[in-house]
Structure 1
Amino acid sequence: MLQLEPIIAFVRVAELKSYTRAAEALSLSRTRVSRLVMALEASLGVCLIQRTTRRLHLTAEGERYLAHAQSILQALDEAAADVGSGATDMRGRLRINGPMSFGVRHLSPLVARFMVEHPGLEVRLDLNDRRVDLLEEGYDMAIRIGNLPDSSLIARRLTRCRMLFCASPDYLARHGTPTTINALKEHRCLRYRSGPVSGDWHIGDTTLFAQGPLESNNGDVLTHAAEAGLGIAHQPSFLVIDSIIQGSLVPVLSDVAPTMLDIHAIYPARRFLPAKVERFIELLANAWGTPPSWEREMGLSPITQQ
């Protein structure tokens, strides 16, 4: 049976990317840490870390083992916190993944608030727009917007937001304001594209083959282009709230039933959900609300949540 000390040594080396820094963190000698990692590799029969004179990196086996080892150590931390300090004292590390633009605007402030409320907690927040593997990459939870692929993960819907058509006052003065979905065919459309997926707009049961001068995989790029008068954007409400409030963008086609986007928290299926994950999810749900706080700030009328 594997002992914990070699596992802890390996995790610290992998996280700090240095035997010297890991030794300092563990109050051990560098030689001791190196021997512990080698003992772990010998017991597993695989190489976990490739070493050179200048740097180290994990092997594929090391990456997989790290994710599992972090989960095990985290579970032990949670068990100790639960019986030692009580359920009100959140300790250990919380690893979160979220989409870039939404994360900066609406997730990161709540992460900071949660950390202030629970000073014993360490958080790793990674923001990107790719679909991460929570188990393989060691995340406790992630925030996802839109349709979710079938998986073994558990999903909880936190809120829903609407997609909005908007353009700058200057663009509308020069090109006119569309009054129907079909009228968008005559306008310059700024399209979001994710990988090989088409940038066409899906409005209810209608697919609009939008044409325009700009296509991007980042919503902020499209918002800035719309503010510059380059065309009409079809954006999630959380991306355009400030622009609409400031008057640099104007909603159009407001009488058309909007496309709705679900915002979920997803996490691995576990018999017992860690308290810090459960409480952070509750914080998000309460802070955003339904309809979400940014739509209430915009003064948009509520839409029935299904």
Structure 2
Amino acid sequence: MNKSNKFLEMTVFVTVVDCNSFIEAAGKLNLSKQAVSRYIQALEDRLQVRLLQRTTRNMVVTNEGQTFYWQAKAIINATLEAEESLSLKQASPQGILRVNVPVSFGVLHLAPLWQKFSKKYPQIILDITLSDRFVNLLEEGYDLAIRIGNLDNSSLISRKLATTKMIVAASPDYIAHYGMPINPDDLKQHKIIMYSHWAKKEQWNFYQNNRCYSVNLSANVYCNNGDTCRQIILQGGGISKQPDFIIGQDVKAGQLVSVLTNYYVEDYNIYAMYPSRKLLPLRTRCLIDFLISELEHVQW
């Protein structure tokens, strides 16, 4: 099979998942429903895996389908945007660019970049809002948002900017007083400082030898700001799960101690999210490309 057919199969699959309907996807792609079904069947046959469970009434994306969906969507977005960027290369980016970013990440890692971006694109006016709340881009008029964590299926377009490793940590004084957890269940006996905006925030997953150990925790403190969580655990307030872009340097300096280090804690991706690639303003594209170049290989 040639590459163009593989790309078409991926496009059909991603469109079906986005629309949650074979019929709607067929209309969007200007194909017949039968053609859409054939492309999906051909893709599953080639991959030797079931991507969609289909009945006469509904459709469910399998776990393998979810994984393939995000990978395929990233490939499609990158390909289409690379093509579009060639036609826009000679244009002059300008106008107001409204951006929403998380507070801690925005202060620690994006704030030092804004002047560099403005110097490169002096005709773009940045309007930056810091908020840990998941905003509605379309309703609230944002051109782009930075989001961290596992994304739900969405009509929004996503571009991966970087990856952050999650660390479970406490202060040395706290560990000296309350002891070091040996396994995930031990966390139930400890004071937990929890960031309240993570999806499934009270379920912490740990991995060891290809097994997942989930523990459901209640917190002593819930907070919607990672820097505040950091300050509490630095003062010996408890154990928290935080990204390395917030507490990585504290761990390296010995001000915090990683716990349960014989288990793996998940990584979270950092994304640029925007409403649509169609008629995407050049100023938005310039910011996406700039952030990718600045953050793609960063070490926190």
Structure 2 runs not aligned, ≥5 long:
1-87
Equivalent position to 1:293, from 256, 278, 299: 299
Q: State how far apart, in whole Å, the 2-side matches of 1:170 and 1:242 are.
A: 18
Structure 1 runs of 4+ with >4 Å offset: 195-198
Equivalent position to 1:224, from 205, 222, 231: 231
Give the CA deviation at 1:137. Answer: 1.8
Question: Are 2:171 and 1:164 aligned?
Answer: no
Question: Are 2:247 and 1:244 aligned?
Answer: no
Instruction: State the Cα deviation string for residues 130-186 of structure 1 (Å, max 9, x = none).
Output: 222212222111111112233321111122211101111111111222232222233
**Secondary structure of 1:136's partner?**
helix
Q: 1:106 to 1:196 in 2, by over 3 A?
A: closer
Equivalent position to 1:152, from 152, 155, 162: 155
Q: Mean alpha-carbon deviation: is it higher for 90-99 or for 186-195? A: 186-195
* Partner residue in 1 for 2:240: 233
Q: State how far apart, in whole Å, the 2-side matches of 1:279 and 1:147 are.
A: 25
1:228 maps to amino acid: Q
Residue 191 of structure 1 contacts residue 222 of structure 1 at CA under 8 Å; is this kept in 2? yes
Residue 287 of structure 1 contacts residue 293 of structure 1 at CA under 8 Å; is this kept in 2? no
Q: 1:196 to 1:120 in 2, by over 3 A?
A: closer
Q: How many pairs were matched up?
A: 209
Equivalent position to 1:281, from 245, 267, 288: 288
* Partner residue in 2 for 1:194: 197
Residue 188 of structure 1 contacts residue 232 of structure 1 at CA under 8 Å; is this kept in 2? yes
* Partner residue in 1 for 2:108: 105
Q: State how far apart, in whole Å, the 2-side matches of 1:195 and 1:105 are.
A: 19
Give the CA deviation at 1:276. Answer: 2.1
* Partner residue in 1 for 2:266: 259
Equivalent position to 1:215, from 222, 232, 243: 222
Higher relative contact order (CA 8 A, sep 6+): 2
2:245 maps to amino acid: F
1:57-206 pair list within 5 angstroms? 86-87=90-91, 89-194=92-197, 199-204=202-207, 205-206=212-213
**Secondary structure of 2:217's partner?**
coil
Q: 1:196 to 1:287 in 2, by over 3 A?
A: closer
Residue 161 of structure 2 contacts residue 296 of structure 2 at CA under 8 Å; is this kept in 1? yes
Give the CA deviation at 1:218. Answer: 1.9
Q: State how far apart, in whole Å, the 2-side matches of 1:211 and 1:267 are.
A: 34
2:143 maps to amino acid: D
Structure 1 runs not aligned, ≥5 long:
1-81, 295-306
Q: 1:243 to 1:94 in 2, by over 3 A?
A: same
Give the CA deviation at 1:212. Answer: 4.6
Residue 161 of structure 1 contacts residue 237 of structure 1 at CA under 8 Å; is this kept in 2? yes
1:11-22 pair list within 5 angstroms? none
TM-score relative to the length of structure 2: 0.63
Residue 187 of structure 1 contacts residue 212 of structure 1 at CA under 8 Å; is this kept in 2? no
What RMSD, in angstroms, separates the aligned Cα atoms of the two structures?
A: 2.4
Q: State how far apart, in whole Å, the 2-side matches of 1:280 and 1:212 are.
A: 38
Residue 99 of structure 1 contacts residue 143 of structure 1 at CA under 8 Å; is this kept in 2? yes
Residue 98 of structure 1 contacts residue 129 of structure 1 at CA under 8 Å; is this kept in 2? yes
Q: 1:161 to 1:135 in 2, by over 3 A?
A: same
